[in-house]
Amino acid sequence: MKFNADRKWLERRAEQEDRHLISVGGLISSLDPNCEAEMNTVPKIESTKTAFVRLLQLARRERRLTLERLAEKADVDLAELLKIETDEAFTPSLRTVHQLAAFLDLPAKKLMVLAGLLRVKDPNLQQASVRFAARSEPIGSVSPEEHAALEEYVKFLNER
Amino acid sequence: MNPKRTMTLNLTDQEMSVLEELSTQKDLSKTALLRQALRLYQMVDSRISRGEKLFFEDSEKQKAELMVL
Amino acid sequence: MREAVHILDCQTGQLAEAEIFDEIGLEHFIETQATWRPLVLEAARGLAANPQQAMLIPRHFHWDWTRKEAELKLLAVKFFGISCAGQLQGIMKIDTVARSCRLPEQQGKPLVYIDYVETAPWNIKLLMEPIGKPQRYRGVGSRLFEAAVLQSEEEGFKGRLGLHSLPGSESFYIKECGMTPVGRDPHKQNLLWCEFTPEQARRYMAGE
C-alpha cells in the first residue's frame, strides 16, 4: 500500500477532519442525543448484559435447541430472541425475560436485572457475571468447562 | 501483503462462461471474482452456523428461505 | 501488513511516525474500550453543556464480543489499526461482500464498505476542546480512509467505496472527500449512503 507522502495533502485532510466528527459507527455516534442515563450506567450494564446473553446461549445449547425451537418452547418472539443474541444494546421485553426465566428455570427477578430491565447495585452479581461471561463461548457444543461455569453461575443466581 | 499460493482450477465450459460473464459484469478479474465468491460463501456459512437464516424477498415482499450448507 | 505513514503531532506541529497494520486482535478492541471509552464519556458530558453540541453526544457503543471474535476470522472482513508512540490511535473495519455499488453507473459492482472507522477520542478536536484537553494527533481518520481506498484498489475494485454517513459527517464525506450522496437507507436508520466512483477516488487520492 502506498500512502500519500505529500505533507500538504495530509495537512489539508487533517484540517477538514478537525472540523467534523467523522467516526462511522463506533464510540462516536450522533444518533441519540438523550443518552444521559446510558452514559452513567453503561459500565454496569455491560458485564451483566453479556452474561445474560451468554447464559441464554449456553442454556439453549445445553438443551440442543435452535433459536426457533427455543422461541417455540418458551413461547417468545423469535425475532426478539435473535436480537437478544446479536445486539448487545437491545433490551428485551419484560414478558420475554419472564417467559425465558420460566422455561430455563431461573429466578425471574435476577434475569431481569441481568437483561437490564431492573437496576440493582450488586457488585457480587457483576463480578460473578463477568467471570461467567469470560469462561463461556457463544458457539459450538458445550464443553465440560462451560458446563461447569454454567452450573456454578445458575447455582449462584438461585442461591441469593 | 500476505504470501499467495497458486492453484489450478478445472472448470467446465459452462462454468468458465459464467465466470467470464460475471467478471465482466462486476469489472473484476476472474481471480478477484472467485475470491469474492469464497468470502461470500464463508460469511453466509458462518452466520447460518450461528443459527441465523438467509432469505430472499421478492418484489411482493414474499420471503423464501435460501438453504446454504 | 504493516506500513509506515505520517500523521501530524499537534504538540510539535511536526510529522509523527505512525504505522498502519491489519493484524488486529481482540486485545486491540479491549484497549479501545479501556482507554478510549472513559475519555469519550467525559467528552460527552463536556458537550452536553452546550446545547448546540448536544447532538454530537456519543452513544453507547454496542460491544458484542462474540460477533467481533467471529468476524475476525472472516475473509470478507478486514480490520485496520493505526498506532503511534506505542498506542492505538484509530481503528477501522471494512467489508468486501456486505454491500455493493448503488450508483446507477456502477450498480452491482463490488466495493469496500467502511463499516466503522473510529479515532481515539484524544485525537478529535471537537471532543477535546469543550473539556479543555489537548488534541494529540491530526489526520488519523484520513489515513484510515486512505487505507480503505488503497484496499479497494488492491482488491481490484478500483477505489470504489461505500459508507453510511452519520448526520454530523455528511458534509465531510460529500464536500471534503467528494463522495456522491446516493440516498437515505431505511434499513440503516435512514443514514445517508455515500459512494465513491473510481474517478472520485482517484481525485481524492491526488488531492484534487
Flag whether B36 is in a domain: yes
Are C45 and A22 within 8 A, CB to CB? Answer: no
- Chain B residues close to C98, C-beta within 8 Å: 43
B43 closest CB neighbour out of C97, C109, C158: C97
Flag whether B5 is in a domain: no
Flag whether B7 is in a domain: no
Are C75 and B32 within 8 A, CB to CB? Answer: no
Question: How many angstroms separate the CA atoms of C62 and A96, rounded?
Answer: 21
Flag whether B10 is in a domain: no
Are B50 and C70 within 8 A, CB to CB? Answer: yes
Chain A residues interacting with chain B (CB cutoff of 8 angstroms): 66-67, 82, 85-86, 138-139
Flag whether B46 is in a domain: yes
Q: Is the pLDDT of residue A130 over 60?
A: yes
Q: Is the pLDDT of residue A37 over 50?
A: no
Average pLDDT along chain B: 89
The percentage of residues in chain A with a pLDDT greater than 90, rounded to a whole number, is: 14
CB proximity list for C198: less than 8 A, separation 6 or greater: C158, C159, C160
pTM as predicted: 0.68
- CA nearest to C95 within chain B: B39
Flag whether B8 is in a domain: no
Domain that holds residue A65: 33-159
The percentage of residues in chain B with a pLDDT greater than 90, rounded to a whole number, is: 59
Question: How many structural domains are present in chain B?
Answer: 1
Flag whether A83 is in a domain: yes
pLDDT in tens, C165-197: 887 788 899 999 999 999 998 888 788 999 999
Burial letters for C17-30: b for 16+ Cβ neighbours within 10 Å, e otherwise? Answer: ebebebebeeeebe
Per residue, the 3-state secondary structure of chain C, as one string, reads CEEEEEEEECCCCCEEEEEEECCCCHHHHHHHHHHHHHHHHHHHHHHHCCCCHHHHCCCCCCCCHHHHHHHHCCCCEEEEEEEECCEEEEEEEEECCCCECCCHHHCCCECEEEEEEEECHHHCHHHHHHHCCCCCEECHHHHHHHHHHHHHHHHCCCCCEEEEECHHHHHHHHHHCCCEEEEEEHHHCCEEEEEECHHHHHHHHHCC
CB pairs below 8 Å between A and B: how many? 8
Per-residue model confidence (pLDDT) at position C67: 59
Per-residue model confidence (pLDDT) at position A3: 95
- The owner of cell 479501556 is C34
Domain that holds residue B19: 15-65
Choosing among A72, A139, A141, which should be mutated to test the B contact, i.e. which has the most B CBs within 10 A?
A139
CB pairs below 8 Å between B and C: how many? 42
Q: Is the pLDDT of residue C102 over 70?
A: yes
Are A139 and B52 within 8 A, CB to CB? Answer: no
Higher pLDDT pick, A65 / C28: A65
Can you tell me the ipTM of this complex? 0.89
pLDDT in tens, A89-111: 788 888 888 889 888 888 887 88
Higher pLDDT pick, A132 / C200: C200
B52 interface with A at CB cutoff 8 Å: yes
- Chain B residues close to A86, C-beta within 8 Å: 52
C61 closest CB neighbour out of A14, A27, A53: A27
For range A75-83, the mean pLDDT: 87
Flag whether A113 is in a domain: yes
C116 closest CB neighbour out of A26, A87, A138: A26
- Chain B residues close to A65, C-beta within 8 Å: none
Higher pLDDT pick, A81 / A88: A81
Question: How many structural domains are present in chain A?
Answer: 1
Choosing among A11, A23, A52, which should be mutated to test the C contact, i.e. which has the most C CBs within 10 A?
A23
Could you tell me the CATH number of the domain that includes residue A54? 1.10.260.40
Structural domains of chain C, ranges and CATH numbers in brackets: 2-206 (3.40.630.30)
| pLDDT-based confidence at residue A36 (cuts at 50, 70, 90) | very low
